[in-house]
Amino acid sequence: MPPLTTRLVPGAAVLAVVGLLAACGTDPGESGESGPSSAAPPTTAADSPSGSSSASPPTTPDPSPSAAPAPGGPPYSTWVLGATPLPVTADGYGEIRPTPPSLRHRRYATTDLLPPPVGDRFASSVEPITPAVRQRMGETYRPGCPVALGDLRHVTVSFRGFDDRAHTGELVVAASVADDVVSVFRRLFRADFPIEEMRLPTTADLEAAPTGDGNNTAALVCRPTRGQTSGFSAHAYGTAIDVNPFTNPYQRGDVVLPERASAYLDRADRRPGMIEPGDVVTRAFARIGWQWGGDYTSLKDYQHFSSDGR
């Protein structure tokens, strides 16, 4: 399913982040379903979670940024995220552009929208969708979606940022996969796999102009599969997650999403936040029976994991 434009604030700067929930989609080579043309991309037993917190996260985010890492660490990227909208092409995406030099080894501090975990320890929660969470979801969920609101869960998990600090992220996923999803992110936290941000997409994200530089890890967005006249993406069911979409872009033919992420198509140049065959990320998702878009044959969707391979 393809990308959706998302916004966040690192440090004092406003950044526009493009999560690829809109770009992920079915690999026709694996599913047998008909797919779109190359110009328009398509859109289990695991560890039972232990030590989970049942406390609800606040509904009003704290926009204060994380502190900078200790001196001597890798430099942060200087590209101002979200500041340069792209021309929109006939297929509805932004114009594909080269990766800015500062983003070729991408690193930003994570802004804490929820309180970070206490004591640098993994924490999680799985709860029904409250009215406050539903309001924040906006048009990412609407009447006609293929899953009932009562069959979704609001999940919070700890993750390690590119700033080497622990943060709290949130996802909306199907109730049937919520505990498995927690087990995946517990493993990634323990392995210190870096994730730039993890927050709920909103209506504003859906309506924002494409900037091609976002990196939000996210799950549910209720929309049909791109390039098809019927049928929903796995994201619409809450059974798919996109992890670090900029460092793990979508490619089909000449289409690359996010539109400025082409430098990360070189998978031999290993950089933090990239997902690779047999690594901790693919193993953690495989453990719960999910499939990876990096294994698709007719396209590559390196950020995308789903319970049914779509």
**Stronger pLDDT, 69 or 173, i.e. the higher one:** 173
For residue 299, give both structure tokens: 């396209």
- Segment 11-17 mean pLDDT: 32
**pLDDT digits 0-9 by tens, 240-269:** 999 999 999 999 999 999 999 999 999 999
**pLDDT digits 0-9 by tens, 94-140:** 999 999 999 999 999 999 999 999 999 999 999 999 999 999 999 99
- Segment 138-150 mean pLDDT: 95
52: confidence class by pLDDT, cuts 50, 70, 90: very low
Q: Which pLDDT score, from 0 to 100, does residue 310 have?
A: 85
- Segment 32-45 mean pLDDT: 33
Looking up tokens 């909208």, which residue turns up? 85
Q: Which pLDDT score, from 0 to 100, does residue 231 have?
A: 79
59-68, 148-157, 198-207: segment of lowest average pLDDT: 59-68
- Segment 135-156 mean pLDDT: 96
147: confidence class by pLDDT, cuts 50, 70, 90: very high
Whether the per-residue pLDDT at 185 is higher than 60: the answer is yes
Ramachandran bin of 212, using left for φ above 0, alpha for ψ from -120 to 50, beta for the remaining angles? left
Q: Which pLDDT score, from 0 to 100, does residue 125 have?
A: 98
Q: Which pLDDT score, from 0 to 100, does residue 74 have?
A: 85
Q: Please state, rounded to an integer, the average pLDDT across all residues of the chain.
A: 82
Which long-range contacts link 88-95 to residues 24+ away (Cβ below 8 Å)? 88/209, 88/210, 91/39, 91/40, 91/255, 92/40, 93/2, 93/3, 93/210, 93/255, 93/257, 93/259, 94/209, 94/210, 94/211, 94/212, 94/259, 95/259
1-15, 82-96, 189-203, 214-228: segment of lowest average pLDDT: 1-15
Residue type, 97: R
Q: Which pLDDT score, from 0 to 100, does residue 53 have?
A: 34
For residue 44, give both structure tokens: 């289990």
Residue 200 has phi, psi (to 5 degrees) of -75, 130
**Sequence spans of domains, the chain:** 4-56+84-306
The whole-angstrom separation of Cα 222 and Cα 22 is 10
Which one, of 212, 250, 258, lies nearest residue 41 by Cα? 250
23: confidence class by pLDDT, cuts 50, 70, 90: low
91: confidence class by pLDDT, cuts 50, 70, 90: confident
Q: What's the predicted TM-score (pTM) here?
A: 0.81
Q: Which pLDDT score, from 0 to 100, does residue 15 have?
A: 33
Contact 166, 117 (CB under 8 A): yes
**pLDDT digits 0-9 by tens, 213-246:** 999 999 999 976 555 556 788 999 999 999 999 9
